């Protein structure tokens, strides 16, 4: 069963803690993306990666970090430097690196900072 998986679905953390959100895809896609969505708002790009071991900052990268050690995996770390991390985080991928091809989204992770 192909697709993108994200875990966990819900995540709670205390202020000052780093937390890592998982994103895995078995679609053999080259490019992967992380978006943040606040309630009632659109999608804002955090980071993206077009090939393994390479990634680029998006519009709101401050307070976040990523890695791309494998083609299938693109984990996002929300650091304590992110001032307002409570949000819905969506991972996406597409097949053509550098091309604005259709993006496939994972189910998302809802992060709440207590």
Say how many C-beta atoms besides its own lie within 10 A of residue 33's C-beta: 22
Can you tell me which of 20, 28, 41, 112 binds another protein, judged by CB under 8 A?
41
- Site membership for another protein, residue 106 (CB under 8 A): yes
- Please, which residue, 17 or 56, has the CB nearer to another protein? 56
Task: Spell out the residues 6+ positions from residue 16 whose beta carbon is closer than 8 angstroms to its own.
Answer: 80
**Residue matched to tokens 């299938």:** 72
Nearest-angstrom CA–CA distance, 91 and 46: 10
- Site membership for another protein, residue 99 (CB under 8 A): yes
What is the closest distance, in whole angstroms, from the C-beta atom of residue 74 to another protein in the complex?
Answer: 15
Backbone φ and ψ for 94, nearest 5 degrees, come out as: -150, 170
- Please, which residue, 1 or 15, has the CB nearer to another protein? 1
Nearest-angstrom CA–CA distance, 109 and 66: 15
What is the closest distance, in whole angstroms, from the C-beta atom of residue 8 to another protein in the complex?
Answer: 15
What is the closest distance, in whole angstroms, from the C-beta atom of residue 55 to another protein in the complex?
Answer: 13
Q: Which pair of tokens denotes residue 37?
A: 């969505």
- Site membership for another protein, residue 61 (CB under 8 A): no
**Which residues of the chain form contacts with another protein (CB under 8 A)?**
40-43, 45, 48, 90, 92, 98-100, 102-108
């Amino acid at each position: 069963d192909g697709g993108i998986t994200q875990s966990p679905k819900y995540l709670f953390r205390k202020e000052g803690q780093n937390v890592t959100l998982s994103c895995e895809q078995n679609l053999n896609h080259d490019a992967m993306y992380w978006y943040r969505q606040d309630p009632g708002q659109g999608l804002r790009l955090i980071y993206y990666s077009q090939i393994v071991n390479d990634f680029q900052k998006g519009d709101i990268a401050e307070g976040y970090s990523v890695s791309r050690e494998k083609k299938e995996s693109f984990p996002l770390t929300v650091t304590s430097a992110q001032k307002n991390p409570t949000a819905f985080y969506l991972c996406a991928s597409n097949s053509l690196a550098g091309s604005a091809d259709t993006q496939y989204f994972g189910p998302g992770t809802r992060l709440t900072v207590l």
